[in-house]
Amino acid sequence: MIHIRDIDHLVLRVKQLEPMLDFYCRVLGCTLERAKADLGLYQLRAGRVLIDLITVDGELGAAGGRAAGVEGRNMDHFCLRLEPFDAQAIRAYLVAENIDVSPIESRYGAEGAGPSFYIKDPEGNTLELKGPVQMGGD
């Protein structure tokens, strides 16, 4: 029987590695845990999970065909649960980094309903940044 606990990692195919590393590491606070440049693989620690960046022209990324763009995406979005979650402070920080931030709304996730907002990384992937469950949320 299969019992899923949580997400282990997700993989993003990227066109331009440096802006993506800067966004995920400097802006969001991930750390580069492992790099296999010969494969075009860069694994970033994001709390308990990994975000893998694979370059579209690298050995692994090339297997996925053309890079996603305005005409199509590889995924809708992924959600990162933040702790602590000070919505105003996080919003101010992201705006200072010239990142557009959606309005905060209560959205349902793995732990229940709680505040979240959306941002985009340098290649247009949508991230949901989510806070703790709030009692009485939908």
Q: Do the domains at 1-74 and 75-138 have one common CATH topology?
A: yes
pTM over 0.85: no
Could you say which architecture CATH assigns to the domain 75-138?
Roll (3.10)
Judge whether 95 and 113 are in contact, CB under 8 Å: no
- Domain segments of the chain: what residues? 1-74, 75-138
Identify the DSSP state of 94: H
Does residue 41 contact residue 60 with C-beta atoms inside 8 Å?
yes
pLDDT tens for each residue of the chain, 138 residues long? 656 778 889 999 899 999 999 999 999 999 999 999 999 999 999 998 999 999 988 887 777 777 777 666 667 789 999 999 999 999 999 999 999 999 999 998 888 899 999 999 998 888 999 999 987 655
Please answer whether residues 52 and 45 qualify as being in contact, where contact means their C-beta atoms are separated by less than 8 angstroms.
no
For residue 48, which of 99, 103, 8 has the smallest C-alpha distance? 8
3-class state of residue 32 by DSSP: strand
Which CATH number is 1-74's, of 3.10.180.10, 3.40.50.2000, 3.50.50.60, 2.40.110.10?
3.10.180.10
